[in-house]
Amino acid sequence: MPNLATHKKVYEMLGYNAVVCEEIDKLIDVEPPLFREIFSESTGEKRLWKNFGFRKVEFPLMYRYVLKNFGLEGIKCLVTHYVLDYIEGLLYKGFDINMIKDEVKALISSYIEECNVHKEDDFAEVNNILLQVFKDLLNRFDDIAQAVKSSSSLDTSPIELIVNASTDLISIELHSALIAKGYRGKSGFTVSSSIFNEYMRIYNKVRRLLKQTLNEALRNRIIVDPQGLLESINNVKKQTAETRTIGDVIQAVKEEGIKNYDFYKLLEMIKHCVEEAIKSSSFSSL
């Protein structure tokens, strides 16, 4: 997550109350509310987990608590804090600025949707409040994203970004390989839940192998334009953002491979890494 100095810098950009925002930062990252402060049926002094409220289903609970204790200014700080953490994760995955804007909009829309389920007076103005926060963020979005990027301690080397951006491509190839071995799940393009632990072990090994392979590919100029490769991965994400079928996703991947040879080589590398990772797994003999 971005450091507290970055949070403070962004709050100042947006003209938010620094004292209130400091309290909200503490509430999210250091000393979350007690269970009994959120859930009336709870007792004792046990606290909720850090970053409570970021998830869609948790957000209304944190919204109500913050509104009651810190007012409208607290809500502005709360949503902005979650958004800053989210932006850092998206940058780490190689998302470009327009994609990040779309993802932030979707995050805030999901909060509004979940809050609208609640009919209490606390949520009467939630739509207007959260949309105003989104508007505030959009007005300084490039500056905010740059502030997060500049302060991030995460590895944003080309190799790391490409591997993180390739998460979906790795999953598709790994799913295809395991389904072909008879491990189809109960519905659609899924694998059986019974192999989850082994699946994650293989997945993580594929990531490690892909980092090594990309390192050699960049050094030997097999991949010549890492930035162009990232843009191709992002193009596929944009094209498939609203897609509901795996067939459409696979078609978009194939088409991008025709347009960009580096992307085509990446797909070959992922396939090879999946095959190598499976060889050392319990599925190798199947």
Summarised one tens digit per residue, pLDDT across range 142-182 is 999 999 988 877 667 889 999 999 999 999 999 999 999 88
Q: Is the overall model pTM greater than 0.85, yes or no? A: no
Question: CA of 230: how far to CAs of 9, 227, 279, in Å?
Answer: 29, 5, 29
- C-alpha torsion angle, residues 216, 235, 170, 103 (rounded to 10): 120
Tell me phi and psi for residue 190, to 5 degrees: -125, 160
Residue 285 pLDDT: 59
**Contact partners, residue 21, CB within 8 Å, separation at least 6:** 7, 8, 11, 73, 77, 80, 81
Structure confidence by residue, pLDDT tens digits, 22-81: 999 999 999 999 999 999 887 778 999 999 999 999 999 999 999 999 999 999 999 999
Q: How confident is the model at residue 3 (pLDDT cuts 50, 70, 90)?
A: confident
Of the candidates 63, 79, 80, 52, the residue with the CA atom closest to the CA atom of residue 114: 63
